[in-house]
Structure 1
Amino acid sequence: MTGVAEPRYRERLTTPWWWYLGALGVGILLGAEIGIVLPGGWVLVPFFVVTLLGAAVVYRLGSGTVQVVGQELTAGDRQLDLSRVDRLVPLSVTELRRVVGRHADPAAYTFIRSWVGPGLQLIMRDPSDTTPYWVVSTRHPDRLIAVLTAV
C-alpha cells in the first residue's frame, strides 16, 4: 500500500477526436511548404515532424483533469480544500460563458476547456477570500456535485 488515496471522482477533459484530423491537415500543409525547400530525400521528414508535433499539441490540450481526492478538489495544477466551499452551482453552456465572460471576477480561478460545454461554480465561504469562486469545466456536473456534497 502506497498511502495515496484513490480519487472519488476523476475526469480527464480530453479533446474531441476530430481535432487530430485538424492536426493531420495542418501537418500536411506545413510539411508541404517546408518540403519545397528541402532536397529530394528529405521531403517527407517535415510531414512526419509537423504532424507529430500537431498531434502532441492536441494531446497536451486534452490532458487536463478534474478530480476529488480526500477533502480536496484538484483542477489542473491547483487544489482546493472543500471546507472552504459554501455553495455549488451547476452551469449550463450559456451560464458558463456568462460566468467566465465579461461578468467574471478577475480574481476567480477558472479551469475551463472550450470543448467541454457545462461546468460547475464553487463559491467560497469567506467573502474576503482572495479567490471568491472557482469555475471548473466538467462533462458531468451532477456527478461531481454528488461526490462533493458526499465529502
Structure 2
Amino acid sequence: MTTYHERLWPALWIPWALLLVIPASLLVLEPVSWLAGAVTGIVLYLGSVGLWIASSQPIDVFDGELRAGRARISLAFLGEAEAIEGHDAFLARGQNLNSRAWLLIRGGVADVVRVPVLDPDDPTPYWLLSTRQAKKLAAAINSSRRPVSGHPAE
C-alpha cells in the first residue's frame, strides 16, 4: 500500500525553452536543406523532451520503504523526518549540508525533507529530498516507521 507518491519533474518551463532547438537547427542546416533542418530540429526537440521526462524522479513511501529515485531504504532504519521550507530549506541544501548526506535535489523545487539514517553500518547521516509537499512527505515517513529488532528507532 502506497502512503505517499510524488514525481519530481524538472522545471516546467524547460520544454518551452527547448523549442528553440528547432529554429536553431533550421538556421544551421538551411544552407544544406530546409527540410533537413526542420527534421533535425524536430528530432532534437523530441529527444530533449524525452530526456527531460526521463530525468524526473519518483519519491514513494511504500511497503515499509522510502524510495527516492533508484535508492531505497527501510523505514525501520530512519529517524524522525523533518519538513524544511523557505529560507531554511535553502540553507539545508547549501550552507548547512553535510557532504556525506544522500541527496535527491531538484533546482525548481524549494522545499526539502531531511530524514536521519539510524543504521550504524551506514555512513550516510541523512537523506535530503526535494519535495513540493514537504509536510505530507514527512508525515507519511513518520507515520509508517517501525523499528527493526536490534536497531534503535526514535
* Range class of TM-score, shorter chain: 0.7 to 0.9
Whole-Å Cα distance in 2 between the matches of residues 8 and 47 of structure 1?
Answer: 42
1:54 equivalenced with 2:48 (yes/no): yes
Q: Which of these residues, 5, 8, 14, is aligned with residue 3 of structure 2?
A: 8
> 1:81-116 CA distances to partner (integer Å, 9 max, x unpaired)?
111122221111322222221432111100011111
1:70 equivalenced with 2:60 (yes/no): no
> 1:44-100 CA distances to partner (integer Å, 9 max, x unpaired)?
212211211222222223x20100111110001101111112222111132222222
Whole-Å Cα distance in 2 between the matches of residues 84 and 50 of structure 1?
Answer: 44
- Aligned in 2, Cα 1:122/1:36: closer, same or farther, shift over 3 Å? same
Q: Secondary structure at the match of 1:8?
A: strand
**Counterpart position of 2:116:** 123
**Counterpart position of 2:150:** none
Whole-Å Cα distance in 1 between the matches of residues 103 and 23 of structure 2?
Answer: 34
Greater displacement, 141-150 / 33-42: 33-42
Q: Which of these residues, 19, 22, 31, is aligned with residue 28 of structure 1?
A: 22
Aligned CA RMSD, in angstroms, stands at 2.0
* Contact 1:88/1:122, CA 8 A, preserved across alignment: yes
Whole-Å Cα distance in 2 between the matches of residues 146 and 7 of structure 1?
Answer: 13
Alignment TM-score, normalising by the size of structure 2: 0.82
* Overall identity of the aligned pairs, in %: 24
One-letter code aligned to 1:64: Q
* Contact 1:30/1:50, CA 8 A, preserved across alignment: no
**Counterpart position of 2:152:** none
Alignment TM-score, normalising by the size of structure 1: 0.83
- Aligned in 2, Cα 1:17/1:103: closer, same or farther, shift over 3 Å? closer
Gaps (5+ residues) in structure 2? 145-154
Whole-Å Cα distance in 1 between the matches of residues 121 and 96 of structure 2?
Answer: 19
1:149 equivalenced with 2:142 (yes/no): yes
The 5 Å alignment of 1:61-100 reads 61=55, 63-100=56-93
One-letter code aligned to 2:32: L
